[in-house]
Amino acid sequence: MNVHALCLHTHPRMRTHTHRQMWETYLFIVALSFAYFSKALSGTYMKSAITQIERRFDLSSSLIGLIDGSFEMGNLLFLAVVSHFGAKLHRPKLIAVGCFLMAVGSFLTGLPHFFMGRYQSQRNSFTCLYHYNFTFLQDSSSHMWIYVFLGNAVRGIGETPVTPLGISYIDDFAKAENSAFYIACLQTITLLGPMFGFLLGSLCASLYVDIGYVDLETVTITPKDARWVGAWWLGFLVSSVIMLLSGIPFWFLPRSLPKQGEESKLPPSTPTQDGTENSDATSHQAMTLAEIAKGFIPSLKKLLSTPAYFLLLCGSLLKFNSFIGLLTFKAKYMEQQFGQSAARANFLIGVLNLPVVAVGIFLGGLLMKRYKLGVVSGAQLSFVTSFMAYLLLLLQFGTKCDNVQVAGLTVSYNGTPGVVYNGNLWSECNRDCSCLAGEWDPVCSDNGITYTSPCLAGCSSSTGYGKNTVFHNCSCVLSSSAPEGSMSVILGQCPRSRECSRSFTSYMAVSVLSSFINSLGTTPGYMVIIRCIKPELKSLALGIQTLVMRTLGGIPAPVYFGALIDSTCLRWGIKKCGGRGACRMYDSDMYRVIFLGLITCLSGSSYFFIIAVIVLLRIQFRREGDTTTGQPPHSSLEIELQTPPKTTEPLNTPKEIEVIEMCNLLKIILFHCLQPSRSRVSLDLPFTGQTTCISS
């Protein structure tokens, strides 16, 4: 070793080559970390802007779910090709192209704002004595949402090479002991992306959509109003710039690097005509595409015929569906159930849920290392933590707020609760008024009852301007239980009760606690999937898992979650052209039961598969004569798979371990388990690494 060190120190050519390799290594790690951060930020920002896009384009929740799923559609178009053939090409430049496409996609998503004209939250607040003469006009911007769909799909295409090629590049040149450190840095920085994504979403949601173009004093709605639209487009432009910058360093990196620790054994490789360096990888790159693809079908058959993997895949799919639905509509649930603004909902997710998820993932990995947990023990730990978080999810059914009292929707005009909604907002007190029944311009009376418009409240006059407008002589207020002489209403929906605020505090406490407990099982649960199959099938196993999760989870889950949420709508808005717009008011009780109920059913069903996997693994271990489940990861894997004890490289390679990010960010959640979601789960994780088979 002394001779080796002396030669390396004294040989100028070797020393220069080593220093250059170290510089390129660190540059790639920093650049890839920034790219991971950027794509996580843009993915979670899309989730945070769902409500704003829905209102701006007057879309239903099911359609906005389809738009959100377009990212997965674009990603799947090239995922298999890039994952299989990308490693044979110039990986850093492919990553650079991916970053550029993500930047273009984000820019295209925000572009429609500049062609849609000014946002009109309402037409005008008319009184009972005003006679409507309203004509519906053709809305030229009614189909501009298609550009949001296409932009999100392009962003999905661009994300395809970043994770798999970045991980494989690190694994090819880094030592095993260094890879773990490099990957840890990647994951740490990646977890910051979702947090900043939600914080950016909070900031943009608090700004009016046409900020800088209109006098904010003339805006009569507040961020808590169902018609409020924040500056959704601004966040996409910001993320576009960040993505563009993150791709620049990759253009200057070589096609490949020599393996760390092998510099002294082999002389520096000679440059080729294109300026790159030859390495052992070039022999693999010379393989034809036909030779590379030849063993795909046999490997796929062998993989799917592995019982443990197939059961894990089914359980993971159910978990991922529940997570995607939660991640997509969690902020909206907080708005509708507890009366929070979109800005505050996104802010709380970013500063409360995500930090505890990061701590939980770290502690989970520490537990696995400290106690040297094997496959079965890891699966059991992941199951226990996930099930504990599932029980906390059930508690959320009890944290609720009553429906807002709206005359003709949830209460009668006399204030009697229990009105069955039939679309008829007319009463004796407003029957002589010439009102537009479909208008949503809520006003609040002193008795806490909200009326859908000043006209339907029977108001005959008004004073004031903008947000300070007050309507007087309201006949429907007089006929209700209002105090004597109080016949006036003010603009806006009546605020929630104090009991609702206390319920929201309880909800957030349970949500944060469940996020932490569930994240403890992220690392152990993910390790199960890469250890329940043979080493040569690991890369394919992770690729198939990602493909299945995104095809059967990332795309359909937001759509059917959105469709069920639409079924709880009590009052729909009206587009300029007369069609049905975005929902203005939901039945809070039905929303809670359907939203949490669907998440609970999907997550609960997954545990049948998870328990079966644990039983199957225990039987395998007993058959091989292993009576313990706490062996080190490598020895457990060797016993389970009956592989030779002597291998040339660790079975638990960083490449497979860290492809978790690709599963995570669904993206969200996730991306995801966080991601992302972009990954993610039946519990309340805004963004975690849990696209794992066990803990998702």
* DSSP 8-class letter at 113: G
Q: What does the pLDDT read at residue 122? A: 61
Residue 538, pLDDT score:
74
Comparison of pLDDT for 117 and 395, the residue scoring more: 395
Looking at residue 333, its pLDDT comes to: 94
- Average of per-residue pLDDT across 492-514: 91
Within 8 A by CB and 6+ apart from 645, the residues are 638
Kindly state the DSSP code that residue 552 receives in the 8-state scheme: I
C-alpha to C-alpha distance for 360 and 518, rounded to whole angstroms: 8
Question: What's the whole-number mean pLDDT along residues 586-599?
Answer: 93
Distances (CA, A) of 202 to 10, 60, 219, 585: 56, 22, 20, 22
Q: Which CATH architecture fits 33-117+145-268?
A: Up-down Bundle (1.20)
pLDDT per position as a tens digit, 328-382: 999 999 999 999 999 999 999 999 988 898 888 888 878 877 887 777 888 888 8
Confidence of residue 204 (pLDDT cuts 50, 70, 90): very high
| Residue 388's pLDDT band (cuts 50, 70, 90) | very high
pLDDT at 688 over 50: no
Residue 177: what pLDDT?
56
Lowest mean pLDDT segment, chosen from 323-337, 443-457, 465-479, 551-565: 465-479
Average pLDDT over residues 169-189: 67
What is the token pair recorded at 630? 């706490």
Looking at residue 348, what DSSP letter applies? H
Mean pLDDT of the chain: 76
Q: What's the token pair of residue 133?
A: 């003469």
State the pLDDT at residue 425. Answer: 77
DSSP H helices, 520-628, are 522-531, 538-549, 556-566, 588-623
Q: How confident is the model at residue 484 (pLDDT cuts 50, 70, 90)?
A: low
161-170 average pLDDT score: 77
Closest CA to 399 of 514, 499, 518: 499
> Is pLDDT of 323 > 70?
yes
| Residue 280, φ and ψ in degrees, nearest 5 | -65, -25
- If pLDDT is split at 50, 70 and 90, which confidence band does 478 have? low
Provide the percentage of residues in the chain whose pLDDT is more than 90. Answer: 30
Distance from the Cα of residue 419 to its chain's centroid: 37
Same-fold call for 33-117+145-268 versus 313-400+501-568+583-664: yes
Q: Where are the domains of the chain?
A: 33-117+145-268, 313-400+501-568+583-664, 405-495
Max mean pLDDT among 84-98, 321-335, 486-500 falls in 321-335
Q: Which of 229-238, 617-626, 649-658 has the lowest mean pLDDT?
A: 649-658
Task: Identify which has the larger pLDDT, 626 or 391.
Answer: 391
Q: What is the mean pLDDT of residues 313-338?
A: 92
User: Which pLDDT value is given to residue 281?
Assistant: 42
pLDDT band at 257 (very low <50, low <70, confident <90, very high): low
pLDDT at 692 over 50: no
d(CA 224, CA 51) in angstroms, rounded, equals 12
Q: What is the pLDDT of residue 139?
A: 56
Given a cut of 80, whether residue 270 has pLDDT beyond it is: no
Contact 243, 249 (CB under 8 A): no
Is pLDDT at 188 greater than 50 in this prediction? yes
Helix (H, G, I), strand (E, B) or coil at 275: coil
Confidence class for position 258, pLDDT limits 50, 70, 90 = low
pLDDT of residue 488: 87
Per-residue pLDDT, 393: 92
Only one residue has tokens 């907080």, namely 334
Is pLDDT at 152 greater than 50 in this prediction? yes
CATH class of the region 313-400+501-568+583-664? mainly alpha
Q: Quick one: pLDDT band at residue 569, thresholds 50, 70, 90?
A: very high
- For residue 670, the model assigns a pLDDT of 33
- 21 or 679: which carries more pLDDT confidence? 21
Q: Are 537 and 376 in contact (CB under 8 A)?
A: no
pLDDT digits (tens, 9 = 90+) for 596-652: 999 999 999 999 998 998 888 888 767 655 534 444 334 333 333 333 344 344 444
Residue 650: predicted pLDDT: 42
Evaluate if residue 498 carries a pLDDT over 90: no
pLDDT value at position 674? 33
Give the C-alpha separation, 363 to 358, whole Å.
Answer: 9
DSSP letters for 9-54: HH-HHHHHHHHHHHHHHHHHHHHHHHHHHHHHHHHHHHHHTHHHHH
Residue 196: predicted pLDDT: 94
